[in-house]
Structure 1
Amino acid sequence: MCTQKGPDDHTEELYKRYKKVFENYICKTVLPSLEDKHEEFMLIDLIKRWENHKLMVRWLSRFFHYLDRYFIAKKCFPTLKATGYNCFRDLVYENIKVKAKDAILVLIDKEREGGQIDRALLKNAVDIFVALGEGGSSSIMDLYEKDFEAPMLDDTSSYYSIKASKWIQEDSCPSYMVKAEECLKREKKRVSHYLHSTTEVKLLDKVQHELLTVYTSQLLEKEHTGCHVLLRDDKVEDLSRMYRLFLRVPNGLDPVSSTFKKHVTSEGTLLVKQAEDAVSSKKEEKKDVVGQHEHAFVKKLLDLHDKYLDYVNNCFIDHTLFHKSLKEAFEVFCNKDIAGTSSAEILATFCDDLLKKGGSEKSSSEAIEEMFDKVIKLLAYVNDKDLFAEFCRKKLARRLLFDKSASEDHERAILTKLKQQCGAQFTSKMEGMVTDLTLAKEHQTKFENYFSTNPKAHPRVDLSVTVLTTGFWPSYKSSDLSLPEEMAKCVESFKAYYGSNTKSRKLTWIYSLGSCHLTGKFGPKPIELIVTTYQAALLLLFNNTDSLSYSEIKAQLNLTDDDVARLLHSLSCAKYKILNKEPNNKTISSKDVFEFNSKFTDKMRRIRVPLPPIDEKKKVIEDVDKDRRYAIDASLVRIMKGRKVLGHQQLVMECVEQLGSMFKPDFKVIKKRIEDLISRDYLERDAENPNVYKYLA
């Protein structure tokens, strides 16, 4: 039939009859059967007819395989399989697609409401929409997407819109989120059971939009169960669920992180207020009580940071948005002063308490190391890191010089951590101080050995000298104290030793940092007195006389009125009255007369006579301000040297950016430093535009 020539070639007629057979069968058998059935029964019959049709197409296309190989290939007609499928699509599918779609949606909604359905039936029905797209003129998925998926997504939106509007009124925020998460899980499973895989993203987007996006603000701000309440009540599981849900929503985490930031800020600000109130109420009492409140404040701050950092790491899975919110929140209250004391000083005092002997923290080495790590994290939020460094340096100096450091290992450990966090420049001076103390011990050993070879040089007084490098240590007030003969011999003996070991090095004696052990021969019993070098020099004056006037003491010691008054007050008006004063009152005047109190006694055989401390806070702040001016000058010159010409605003912003890691420069100060650099011919203003600067080489 197909290989003959001329009028006997029936190939094309055979191809047409092949198509006619399908059309006749569909019109006479398939369509009448489907028209009588509805909903689930219609789907069952449709699937049965479709399976029969596929079987019929497969066998007939095999019988007439010759047509596919030669005739159809030559004429560019649709293949036998495509022709068979097209017949079903044009005659059955086009008539039945709306009914089939509606029947499927009814079953899906039934399952959403908790009913039992035949999932295999649904899968086979949905597969018809996909299969009939093959061989079409457009994409394979067009029929599925246009005739089934789009209406199904609209139906899903309507279904969850109704549900969400009801749940948002009736349920708490946690209950609503549980339902929303469960719905999303079920819809995802639904895709795997009977929908096409390409539908998953679109379907979940629709559900998320109706359940979460539409009601984001209402859900997060629910009066008694919203995000703020979950944070307040430590509802970790609910917060984790909130993160998982809103992570799916475009920009959905923004309001959550904003609420998180506000909550942490309010918690921290409350701690600051409580600390201020506690310090204010104790202002009239002892200073160490005030210090205890500040110490407790830092511990609460560390606990607060641990708590919310744990939230960020676990509930919010280390998301950068929440790290940023935590940082911004802590920067707000970590830079507030407490009763006039800056956060930098409070943090430095806390570290000092950890590191000194007899501090309030009685912890193991591991616990102290862990505390250091927490303090370093907190330091990252403090703007005035240079002020913290200067206070740390002052306190480190006192610990090292007065042997109050609990452990050299701990000192080096915190310096290492600070170096990693803030850079080598931050800790270089403090590292030099620790090294100085190690070298000083070696010097002391050599000094003692020096006397074994030079016995005549020994001053007959035990002497310990600590040699410090000027650049590393804080600046201290030096005075031309006139030393008594016994002490002067000690100084000369060390000068002789030091001169024999070093060349071209000048020693500057800082007597204010020294201490002495004296034996006071009082009537009742001798008592060992631990005093400062200044106090010792004053007391030794009474070895030669019983009574001295204020003016005589001042002349013999060669000190200022402030220093003399402070010394005499500590020895005659404080707890230990080693000197008697005439007149007997609590104030020191230039007309007072002092005599040795031979009747003084105490239950202890050794006592430390304290000297009223000088508040160094003002000097530290002045030193830091001075260093900041130098840092701003250096930054401005460095920027202009590289850029040559730059506008005022851009220069200021680049300077702030460069110095931001150590402190936050004041714009007014930067402007003053620019004017100063102009006056010193480092910069000049542009002749045409005064807001533009030029660098002068």
Structure 2
Amino acid sequence: MLNAHGTSGSMSSGGSGSGSGSTTAGGAARGPAAKGKAPEMHDLAGSGSGLAAARARTAGVPRIGSASGPARKLVIKSFKVKPKLPETFEDDTWDKLRRAVEAIHARRPVPDGLEELYKACENLCHHNKQGNLYRRLEAVLQEHVVAELATLKQNVGGDANALRVLDECWRSYCQQMILIRSIFLYLDRTYVLQTPSLRSLWTLSMDLFRDHVVQDSEIQRRLVEGIVHEIDRERRGEQVSRTLLHSLVRMMVDLGVYLRVFEAPFLETTRAFYRYVGQMHMSAVSAAGDGHAGAHRVSEYLVHVVQRLEQESVRCGSGEGYLDPVTRKRLIQVVEDELIRSCASVLLDAGFDTLVAEQRVDDLARLFSLLERVGMLDELKRRLGEYIKARRARKTGAVMVRDPSRDKTMVADLLAFKAQLDRLLRHAFGGLESFDHAIKEAIGSFINQRQNKPSEMIAKYVDDLLRHVKGMTDAEVDAQLDQCLVLFRLIQGKDVFEAFYSKDLAKRLLLGKSASVDAEKSMLLKLKAECGGGFTTKLEGMFKDMDLSREFQRTLEDTANYRERIGPIDLTVFVLTANHWPTYPVVELNLPPELLRCQDVFRELYLLKHKGRRLVWQNSLGSCLLRAHFGGNAKELQVSLFQAVVLLSFNDRAVQTYSELQTQTGLEPKELVRTMQSLACSKTRVLSKGNPKVKEIGVDETFQVNEAFSAPQFRVKINSIQVKETVEEQEETNEKVFQDRVFQVDAAIVRIMKTEKRCTHAALVTKLFQMLRFPVATEDLKKRIESLMEREYMDRDPADRSMYVYVA
């Protein structure tokens, strides 16, 4: 029989005692030769009788492994003559493969089947022809790339056309290499993979395209300039092919030239583009000024910057993006440098103050976000502080405090201003603690520049609030008190606040002006939590005195004969501890006999229970409820004690002069004038005088009961002028605070010197600033030090005049 290569084989079968047999078929299997000589094939094929004889001899032979005889072995014989490849086998096979590669490059149908071509490559590899095959394929690929470069140079025209031609060439090249690699896949996965010095077929193809096409100076220039030009067109609002740009950028990334060839010039042109855009917009912003028009320009620019940043971010993102993500960080940094960092000062100068004044939260939030990106929040905080402290004629906190004409509305305006800043802090400045500190520091800087007035006005504002809390929920009251405490924390003259607050609290408690005891005690607890128990000791004592007075009043009501002794008058007396309450001047007043009898009865009963105490009546704090008749029209008059004494005097005489009233009441002229003005010159005129239109009270002025007085209410309240705090009383309170501060400064100096024994002037002043809770000038400290030296508490060191020595 014949195999595919024409070689001969033999098969023999021996008897039971002839040894082993062998089988050889077409050289595919080889084995040791048989011990006995096997008949040649041509002997078996020589005649029909011989073949028949052979078959006859084998017909009766038992099968191998049968029970009739021992097992027999099959032995495979080797070729006597080793097969040889045809001399033209490698060349013929390569020609077939080369024709297929050239057909693929020429975009023609491949003449042979892909399976046949793959087998041809495999046969060459099996016969150790891999090295020549790899070198020949590399040469063909290089030749093709060089030809493609020449074709490209002939076909490229304008920039956009060059990009399309290059992209088509690249896509076609990649598709061709995918097909070629599939044909030579066996070579790529065996020989190339096992040889470290060789590149894979795909890497080889990429390197060839890069080295010969992309690295060509003309092609590279057209590629980079074309992509940059297309991106510039898109930035100006024109439509471009993002698919084309994505493909070309992906080509540079795959070839490993993206960063080296494209990114640097791209970022350079991007910087130039946005530098021009920023300068153009800044010119428009500067021309608009720093008013409303400038703020409008700034607002438009901020929106424009946000849009630009988003556009550039999309270019480097997934989806519609086409630039490599590695460029995103550097690209965004370029945009931030040119549109934010270099323009920040102009933006803040032109529009920041107006944006804050107009509460344009969205624009300020954009400005905050953009400046945060470039690390310029410190500059934004500085500008915010400058706005708050500005002295310009507008609605800023500094103007509210420094303008004396706005004292009455100072605290309300400051609270509204602080609320606006807090709103910006939450919604525009991200609620950052550093911005909160900047706002408080700025408010504190200007609110303490006007000595004691802000502290006084905050106390007055709290007083007015606690007088009118009816109709408000507890939460609303707490919220308003907390707002007042925000300003209270910022003032340095807390002792001034305490002085005015205690004075107003005394009036609210004694005259029944407080609208809610719960609100009063809530404020007291807040002050105690804020400043400690020492700050509220006197205030707590005032509440305690009121409670003890009410308790003693109930005791009096249960005392035998108490009602008979005081008569038909309902008497209520508050006993005040002098150390807890403000100091009130003693005003002389001639009380009617009925009131004197009530005082005597109360004094007698009180001293029986509390021996050794001294009672001093404060006439200026008294109030009365009188029943009066005006031409048969009965009314109840709620008046002060001074007003009551004056009105009761008209029960004896219908007409009286000013001099007669002064003699009968015993009031000093200033108090009497105020009292008569409130009774005869106010809206509620229960007395009439000669010329009611003139508020001045003459010495010879005559007064009589106004029988024509009428009012819609049965109980009429006549405002007492002396209840309102006068300028003199304010000055007196401030002077008292100043004297207290003098004592505190002296005590602090002695305390420090007693501890240190020796201390320089500079060190002593520094320690005093740290210890004192109120503002004090260095000159005032120097005066107090000199005063203590005069009183021999301390002295100078004779050897060092700048050193103070404590004198024990």
What's the TM-score, normalizing by structure 1?
0.73
Match of 1:352 in 2: 463
Match of 2:87 in 1: none
Q: In the TM superposition, what is the alpha-carbon distance from 1:620 to its structure 2 partner?
A: 0.7
1:312 is aligned to 2:425: yes
Match of 2:342 in 1: 214
Classify 1:274/1:665 alpha carbon distance in 2 versus 1 (closer, same or farther; 3 Å): closer
Deviations 1:287-324 (A, max 9, x none): xxxxxx75445444433333343233223333456545
Q: In the TM superposition, what is the alpha-carbon distance from 1:459 to its structure 2 partner?
A: 3.9
Distance in 2, matches of 1:639 and 1:33, equals 94
The one-letter code matched in structure 1 to 2:327 is T
1:398 corresponds to which of 484, 507, 530: 507
User: Contact between 1:258 and 1:325, CA under 8 Å: does it hold in 2?
Assistant: no
1:251 corresponds to which of 349, 352, 376: 376
Match of 2:260 in 1: 146
2:311 corresponds to which of 186, 201, 205: 186
2:620 corresponds to which of 512, 533, 538: 512
Within 5 A, what are the aligned runs for 1:139-538?
Answer: 144-169=258-283, 172-192=297-317, 193-222=321-350, 226-251=351-376, 254=379, 258=383, 261-262=386-387, 265=390, 266=392, 279=405, 294-296=407-409, 298-320=411-433, 322-323=435-436, 326-327=439-440, 330-331=443-444, 334=447, 342-356=453-467, 368-449=477-558, 451-452=559-560, 458-460=565-567, 462-478=570-586, 487=595, 489-499=597-607, 501-502=609-610, 507-516=615-624
Match of 1:28 in 2: 143
Classify 1:638/1:341 alpha carbon distance in 2 versus 1 (closer, same or farther; 3 Å): closer
Classify 1:599/1:212 alpha carbon distance in 2 versus 1 (closer, same or farther; 3 Å): closer
The one-letter code matched in structure 2 to 1:27 is Q
Distance in 2, matches of 1:632 and 1:56, equals 97
Distance in 2, matches of 1:94 and 1:644, equals 85
Within 5 A, what are the aligned runs for 1:112-151?
Answer: 112-131=235-254, 144-151=258-265
The one-letter code matched in structure 1 to 2:267 is L
User: Contact between 1:683 and 1:696, CA under 8 Å: does it hold in 2?
Assistant: yes
2:227 corresponds to which of 91, 95, 104: 104
Q: In the TM superposition, what is the alpha-carbon distance from 1:130 to its structure 2 partner?
A: 4.5
Deviations 1:407-438 (A, max 9, x none): 22232333344445555544443343234323
1:39 is aligned to 2:163: yes
Distance in 1, matches of 2:606 and 2:179, equals 110
Which structure is higher in helix share? 1
1:623 is aligned to 2:736: yes
Q: What's the Cα RMSD here?
A: 5.2
Match of 1:288 in 2: none
Q: In the TM superposition, what is the alpha-carbon distance from 1:169 to its structure 2 partner?
A: 4.0
Match of 1:6 in 2: none
Distance in 2, matches of 1:128 and 1:545, equals 116
User: Contact between 2:275 and 2:339, CA under 8 Å: does it hold in 1?
Assistant: yes
The one-letter code matched in structure 2 to 1:463 is L
Match of 2:292 in 1: none
1:663 is paired with a residue of what secondary structure? coil
1:464 is paired with a residue of what secondary structure? coil
Q: In the TM superposition, what is the alpha-carbon distance from 1:106 to its structure 2 partner?
A: 3.1
Residue correspondences, number: 638
The one-letter code matched in structure 1 to 2:576 is L
Q: In the TM superposition, what is the alpha-carbon distance from 1:625 to its structure 2 partner?
A: 1.0
Match of 1:284 in 2: none
Deviations 1:652-696 (A, max 9, x none): 34533554xx53222222223334455566666566554455677
User: Contact between 2:359 and 2:424, CA under 8 Å: does it hold in 1?
Assistant: no
Deviations 1:480-508 (A, max 9, x none): 98977755554454345445555776544
Q: In the TM superposition, what is the alpha-carbon distance from 1:397 to its structure 2 partner?
A: 0.8
Can you give the 5+ residue segments of structure 1 that lack an aligned partner in the other structure?
A: 1-9, 134-142, 280-292
Deviations 1:569-609 (A, max 9, x none): 5677874599999xxx9466xxx9x99x8978673698859
User: Contact between 1:61 and 1:80, CA under 8 Å: does it hold in 2?
Assistant: no
Deviations 1:204-227 (A, max 9, x none): 1101222232333344445xxx33
1:664 corresponds to which of 775, 778, 789: 775
Distance in 1, matches of 2:590 and 2:301, equals 83
Stretch of structure 1 that moved more, 598-607 or 303-312 = 598-607
User: Contact between 1:40 and 1:103, CA under 8 Å: does it hold in 2?
Assistant: no
User: Contact between 1:231 and 1:263, CA under 8 Å: does it hold in 2?
Assistant: no
Distance in 1, matches of 2:616 and 2:175, equals 106
Distance in 2, matches of 1:567 and 1:668, equals 39
Q: In the TM superposition, what is the alpha-carbon distance from 1:392 to its structure 2 partner?
A: 1.7
Identity level (%)? 29
Deviations 1:134-171 (A, max 9, x none): xxxxxxxxx54333322221121122223333344457
Match of 2:709 in 1: 603
User: Contact between 2:677 and 2:697, CA under 8 Å: does it hold in 1?
Assistant: yes
Distance in 1, matches of 2:719 and 2:242, equals 92
Q: In the TM superposition, what is the alpha-carbon distance from 1:269 to its structure 2 partner?
A: 6.1
Deviations 1:252-288 (A, max 9, x none): 6625851674377336567987999995xxxxxxxxx
Distance in 1, matches of 2:178 and 2:754, equals 82
Match of 1:7 in 2: none
User: Contact between 2:401 and 2:454, CA under 8 Å: does it hold in 1?
Assistant: no
Q: In the TM superposition, what is the alpha-carbon distance from 1:242 to its structure 2 partner?
A: 2.7
Distance in 1, matches of 2:750 and 2:436, equals 35
User: Contact between 1:514 and 1:532, CA under 8 Å: does it hold in 2?
Assistant: yes
Distance in 2, matches of 1:435 and 1:176, equals 63
Q: In the TM superposition, what is the alpha-carbon distance from 1:187 to its structure 2 partner?
A: 0.3
User: Contact between 1:567 and 1:611, CA under 8 Å: does it hold in 2?
Assistant: no
The one-letter code matched in structure 1 to 2:163 is E
Distance in 2, matches of 1:259 and 1:23, equals 69
Classify 1:343/1:362 alpha carbon distance in 2 versus 1 (closer, same or farther; 3 Å): farther
User: Contact between 2:620 and 2:642, CA under 8 Å: does it hold in 1?
Assistant: yes
The one-letter code matched in structure 2 to 1:156 is T
Distance in 2, matches of 1:299 and 1:672, equals 38
The one-letter code matched in structure 2 to 1:565 is P
Distance in 2, matches of 1:402 and 1:676, equals 42
Deviations 1:434-492 (A, max 9, x none): 3432332222212222x13x659944454322122333321223479897775555445
1:616 is paired with a residue of what secondary structure? helix
When Rg is computed on C-alpha atoms for both structures, the one with the higher figure is: 2
Classify 1:60/1:445 alpha carbon distance in 2 versus 1 (closer, same or farther; 3 Å): farther
Deviations 1:25-70 (A, max 9, x none): 4521124314533334214433554676688789979746667887
User: Contact between 2:466 and 2:520, CA under 8 Å: does it hold in 1?
Assistant: yes
User: Contact between 2:688 and 2:705, CA under 8 Å: does it hold in 1?
Assistant: no
1:36 is paired with a residue of what secondary structure? helix
Q: In the TM superposition, what is the alpha-carbon distance from 1:627 to its structure 2 partner?
A: 2.3
User: Contact between 1:167 and 1:176, CA under 8 Å: does it hold in 2?
Assistant: yes
Distance in 2, matches of 1:55 and 1:467, equals 110
The one-letter code matched in structure 1 to 2:235 is R
User: Contact between 2:495 and 2:737, CA under 8 Å: does it hold in 1?
Assistant: yes
